[in-house]
Amino acid sequence: MSLFLTTLSGGVILYLLIYYTMFKGSRCRSSAVLKGKTAIVTGSNTGIGKTTAMELAKRGARVILSCRNQQKAEAAAYDIRRESGNNEVLCMQLDLASLKSVRTFAETFLKTEPRLDLLINNAGVMATGQTEDGFGLAFGVNHLGHFLLTSLLLERLKQAGGGSRVVNVAALLHRLGTVDFAALNAHKDLVTPTPGRSSWHAALMAYCHSKLCNLLFTRELANRLEGTSVTCYSLHPGVISTELCRNMSWWQRLLLVPVSKLLFLDSEAGAQVTLHCALQEGIEHFSGRYFSSCSLRPGSVGPKARDDGLAKKLWEVSERLCGLS
């Protein structure tokens, strides 16, 4: 029995050591106060999006929860107002799987909100399927919807002055991604349909490709923002236990959920790098770069994410697909 208890306690200590050193992550150290500033957080009714919105509200910002499900967004806004004591938390419907919805959101925002200081492109999916416009779901939501949203709100960000920022929540899995323009042209997706490939594998690869797009978009955006007061960053939030995989089959969730609850970061820990990129002073000269911790220096990225030619081409193709050119 004593050997069993010793082994058990040793295992617990080892798990805690791994959890707090490898998974728990660092914390945002900024003490910035956001009174008088406005932030948009996409996908903010749950997970790290909701936690990010909560922290911004606690710092005094006017926070727009932009979510597909209005009922869930209203419930999240109620929670945030109650906990933060900030009544300037409101919802605006946004379905990133519909370019029409993105345009409607931007039009409404520009008519009703006089300023925008922080645009946090947080929403994401890992799933197969198509958007309203016929694009692959991960590419359409994770990249194209956010690309259009940012493009339509860019002038309002520039007008705010005083260091407005765009923050794109990406992932370490960008290293497994590619941007296949031939597949995009043929299938309106970065994943070529392959007989015999499981839906799980297809969803994972589509997610990786879309996260590479996030980094490339951020890189080219920084080039185009040079000389303005707006900066932009992409990031890896850590391995998070969220509803990202809500579109998986029940048996896939059954396998993943216990592991995620045991090992993955919670929403509070997962929001820290997002908050760091949104608020930390001293990182402005790293606009366009990728952060994987709350450090004053950016993290390393895969070689494809450093390709300026690829980033420029993705931008031009995205403009065409969104009807901006």
The residues assigned a catalytic role are 207
Residue 42's DSSP bridge partners are 66
- What is the rounded distance in angstroms from the CA atom of residue 96 to the CA atom of residue 145? 5
CB 10 within 8 A of CB 91: no
- What is the rounded distance in angstroms from the CA atom of residue 48 to the CA atom of residue 267? 5
Burial of 111: CB neighbours in 10 Å, binned 0-12, 13-18, 19+: exposed
Residue 64's DSSP bridge partners are 40, 90
Give residue for tokens 């909100």.
113
Q: How is the beta sheet containing 62-67 ordered, strand by strand?
A: 89-93, 62-67, 38-42, 118-121, 165-169, 231-235, 290-291
